[in-house]
Chains A and B, each alone.
Chain A
Amino acid sequence: MRRSKIKYLSTGNEACGEGALRAGCRFYAGYPITPQNELTAYMSRRMEEENGTFIQAESELAAINMVFGASVAGARAMTSSSSPGISLKQEGISYIAGAELPAVIVNIMRGGPGLGNIAASQSDYFQATKGGGHGDYRSIVLAPATVQEMFDFTYDAFSLADKYRNPVMILADGMLGQMMEPLAFDDNIKPSGIIPKPWALTGAEGRKPLSAKSLRLGSGKNSLERHNERLQEKYKNIERSEIKTELYKTDDAAKIIVAYGSPGRIGRSCVDTMRDDGDAIGLVRLKTLWPFPYAEIRKLAERGCEFLVVEMSAGQMVEDVRLAVQDDNKVSFYGRMGGGIPEEEVIIKKLKNRG
């Protein structure tokens, strides 16, 4: 069989788009906003080539609700935006979670709050993992750190969304969106995790009519409370089986950097540099932000490790690390806000001083 592995230089945004297409996404609605514009432009070209649907919506609000429509109709659907636009989509995401619909939402984060700037940032962690919309719901949140992962994680997002009938968010900072790196995948790759969707609205031909909705005014087994209990069961199930973390040289590490996305890459090179100096440093690089690896971090804490959490924000994921470690003396934080990028020298200095 002809060697079908293809490899080319791609931006993260475009890799994300291609990952979606290869996962069988045939509906995309977007709206212009930096730093994710390359993704919207890419889909406007490629979707038609795959005779899917591309719509530039009148707003991010409309876009997420178009995704609601395409998804309730049974299609794999996606939207993307950047921080302010993702804020506009929160109500729609809550509806998607409440109606238990699969959908992929990509956030290429920029500096905030407000209009902020267009530099890379991670200050939407709370919004993404603690539910930026209303109600007790969770989105599965995947955090790529390379252009390759922008492809792979987006590809995986669609099978996760269908498997759990839940919104899945790709959370990446602006650098990951706009930088170029080699991207490789098998040209014959097919969509995975395709499962029947008996709940989809296709017209009540030969079956009872369906109503897919998030409104629940019933009582007893049809009550909103029962519905929420089922959702919580689903979320526990996801927490049991979908956590993904990269442990880099943590086996003998005394101090561990905890990070995701671009800071995860910076952390990795700090580990290499300090290991050369003989310091036992490791990295926990999160691939899933929700479900969060509490147990894994707690295990390292029980071994006596100390942690330095590095984020491009005022410190948001650090709260979850503190929850896992349950000992504030063991967890310190270094972050840059407003688009600032954590510096390797500062990380190394912080890790050395605490010796």
Chain B
Amino acid sequence: MGKTYTRPNSMKDVLTHYCPGCGHGMVHRIICEVIDELDVRETTIAVAPVGCAVLAYDYWNFDTTEAAHGRTPAVATGIKRIHPDKLVFTYQGDGDLAAIGTAETIHAGNRGENISIIFVNNGVYGMTGGQMAPTTILGQITATSPYSRRSEKEGFPLKIMEMMAVLPGVTYLERTMLTSPKEVIKTKKAIKRSFKRQLDKKGFSMVEILSPCPTYWGLSPLESIKRIENEVVATYPVGVIKEDK
């Protein structure tokens, strides 16, 4: 930590709409810190998802577009092919990336598109009222799994990162979380690594971030962090899942 610390220049000076204790705010700030440190604010083009972070372009101080739900990696593919020298990243939630956008995620990775995906996994669809997501863990009660998620009825939480690891086009995958300063700093390192790899043309990379959603977990912000450490991590272990040279 430098001696002084102020809001990153790549972050607009506005209040966000996110709920108290929501992880999106942290991830937004971390991304902006990385972009400032890499000095790429003026050459970054981001693609916001449909979900709680759909308003990301109101908070970021760099070019941003917003894709149809799930099509974020396809939009990013189009942008990156036209501007191969720009830093292009998508910012997606679990529904956007691992439900409706599963095919786009897998095929962007399989084509080895030289883009970065920042994947915020909070286990529910937040924008629409806390419905079950592909990443909802077994036993978790949501607006659409009132009897809790049961594997025989609602299937299993999807491990999209582990699925992506088998694709040769995918060169770096890491899952982190936001539960303590140490873990947040690890998250920042992972995002920086993903962006640097892209700038070094090392191909497709994705960082999944386990993030608290106090509102739809029905917990306080601090209880939500505990839940990630005690329950979510068991299904979604953190760490580097893949890293080619």
A–B touch (CB < 8 A): the answer is: yes
A-to-B contact residues, CB < 8 Å: 27, 29, 53, 55, 57-59, 61-63, 65-75, 77, 91-92, 95, 99, 201-206, 209-215, 217
Instruction: Give Cα distance in the complex from A211 to B48, angstroms.
Output: 10
Task: Report if A213-B57 is in contact (Cβ < 8 Å); known contacts: A27-B78, A70-B79, A71-B78.
Answer: yes
> Are A70's CB and B78's CB within 8 A?
yes
B-to-A contact residues, CB < 8 Å: 41-45, 47-48, 54-55, 57-58, 60-68, 71, 74-83, 86, 103-104, 106-107, 111
Instruction: Give Cα distance in the complex from A245 to B201, angstroms.
Output: 50
Task: Report if A92-B71 is in contact (Cβ < 8 Å); known contacts: A58-B104, A73-B79.
Answer: yes
Instruction: Give Cα distance in the complex from A204 to B87, angstroms.
Output: 12
Instruction: Give Cα distance in the complex from A210 to B63, angstroms.
Output: 5
> Are B86's CB and A65's CB within 8 A?
no
Q: How far is the CB of B75 from chain A (nearest CB, A)?
A: 4
Q: How far is the CB of B193 from chain A (nearest CB, A)?
A: 21
Closest to B44 in A: A203
Please name all residues of chain B whose beta carbon is closer than 8 Å to the beta carbon of A213 when the two chains form the complex: 48, 57, 64-66
> Are B65's CB and A201's CB within 8 A?
yes
Closest to A63 in B: B74
Task: Report if A209-B82 is in contact (Cβ < 8 Å); known contacts: A62-B71, A65-B71, A204-B42.
Answer: no
Q: A67-B78, A69-B47, A202-B63 are in contact. List 7 more A-B contacts (CB 8 A).
A: A55-B81, A61-B71, A61-B74, A73-B82, A201-B63, A210-B64, A215-B54
Q: How far is the CB of B60 from chain A (nearest CB, A)?
A: 7
Please name all residues of chain A whose beta carbon is closer than 8 Å to the beta carbon of B44 when the two chains form the complex: 203-204
Please name all residues of chain A whose beta carbon is closer than 8 Å to the beta carbon of B77 when the two chains form the complex: 55, 66, 69
> Are B65's CB and A212's CB within 8 A?
yes
Q: How far is the CB of B48 from chain A (nearest CB, A)?
A: 8
Q: How far is the CB of A54 from chain B (nearest CB, A)?
A: 10
Task: Report if A73-B78 is in contact (Cβ < 8 Å); known contacts: A201-B45, A205-B43.
Answer: yes
Instruction: Give Cα distance in the complex from A203 to B63, angstroms.
Output: 6
Please name all residues of chain B whose beta carbon is closer than 8 Å to the beta carbon of A67 when the two chains form the complex: 78
> Are A66's CB and B66's CB within 8 A?
no
User: Which of B43, B68, B103, B106 contacts A95, CB < 8 Å?
Assistant: B68
Q: List 22 A-B contacts (CB under 8 A).
A: A27-B78, A27-B81, A57-B107, A58-B104, A58-B106, A62-B103, A65-B71, A66-B77, A66-B81, A67-B78, A68-B74, A73-B78, A201-B65, A203-B43, A204-B41, A204-B61, A209-B62, A209-B63, A209-B64, A210-B63, A211-B57, A217-B55
User: What are the 8 A-B residue pairs with the smallest beta carbon separation, nearest first?
Assistant: A69-B78, A65-B71, A211-B57, A70-B78, A65-B74, A69-B75, A58-B107, A73-B82
User: Which of B45, B74, B81 contacts A62, CB < 8 Å?
Assistant: B74
Secondary structure of the B contact surface, majority rule: helix
Which of A63, A70, A91 lies at the interface centre, i.e. has the most chain B CB atoms within 10 A of its CB?
A: A70
Closest to B73 in A: A62
Please name all residues of chain A whose beta carbon is closer than 8 Å to the beta carbon of B75 when the two chains form the complex: 65-66, 68-69, 72
> Are A206's CB and B42's CB within 8 A?
yes
> Are B65's CB and A62's CB within 8 A?
no
Task: Report if A74-B82 is in contact (Cβ < 8 Å); known contacts: A57-B74, A203-B45.
Answer: yes
Task: Report if A70-B54 is in contact (Cβ < 8 Å); known contacts: A209-B61, A210-B63.
Answer: no
Closest to A68 in B: B75
Closest to B107 in A: A58
Q: How far is the CB of A255 from chain B (nearest CB, A)?
A: 47
Instruction: Give Cα distance in the complex from A215 to B58, angstroms.
Output: 12
> Are A72's CB and B65's CB within 8 A?
yes
Task: Report if A68-B78 is in contact (Cβ < 8 Å); known contacts: A59-B103, A203-B83.
Answer: yes
User: Which of A62, A203, A211 contacts B107, CB < 8 Å?
Assistant: A62
User: Which of A61, A201, A215 contacts B79, CB < 8 Å?
Assistant: A201
Q: How far is the CB of A26 from chain B (nearest CB, A)?
A: 8
Please name all residues of chain A whose beta carbon is closer than 8 Å to the beta carbon of B48 when the two chains form the complex: 213
Q: How far is the CB of A102 from chain B (nearest CB, A)?
A: 13
Instruction: Give Cα distance in the complex from A203 to B78, angstroms.
Output: 15
Which of B81, B86, B104, B106 lies at the interface centre, i.e. has the most chain A CB atoms within 10 A of its CB?
A: B81
Closest to A205 in B: B42
Please name all residues of chain B whose beta carbon is closer than 8 Å to the beta carbon of A203 when the two chains form the complex: 42-45, 62-63, 83, 86
Closest to B40 in A: A203
User: Which of B42, B55, B61, B83 contacts A73, CB < 8 Å?
Assistant: B83
Instruction: Give Cα distance in the complex from A204 to B35, angstroms.
Output: 13
Q: How far is the CB of A337 from chain B (nearest CB, A)?
A: 32
Please name all residues of chain A whose beta carbon is closer than 8 Å to the beta carbon of B43 when the two chains form the complex: 203, 205
Instruction: Give Cα distance in the complex from A91 to B71, angstroms.
Output: 11
Instruction: Give Cα distance in the complex from A89 to B75, angstroms.
Output: 13
> Are A69's CB and B76's CB within 8 A?
yes
Please name all residues of chain A whose beta carbon is closer than 8 Å to the beta carbon of B67 when the two chains form the complex: 65, 68-69, 95
Please name all residues of chain A whose beta carbon is closer than 8 Å to the beta carbon of B62 when the two chains form the complex: 203-204, 209
Instruction: Give Cα distance in the complex from A71 to B65, angstroms.
Output: 11
> Are B42's CB and A66's CB within 8 A?
no
Instruction: Give Cα distance in the complex from A205 to B85, angstroms.
Output: 13
User: Which of B64, B68, B103, B111 contacts A211, CB < 8 Å?
Assistant: B64
Q: How far is the CB of A24 from chain B (nearest CB, A)?
A: 13
Please name all residues of chain B whose beta carbon is closer than 8 Å to the beta carbon of A58 when the two chains form the complex: 103-104, 106-107
Task: Report if A53-B81 is in contact (Cβ < 8 Å); known contacts: A62-B71, A62-B103.
Answer: yes
Instruction: Give Cα distance in the complex from A159 to B200, angstroms.
Output: 36
Instruction: Give Cα distance in the complex from A162 to B103, angstroms.
Output: 30
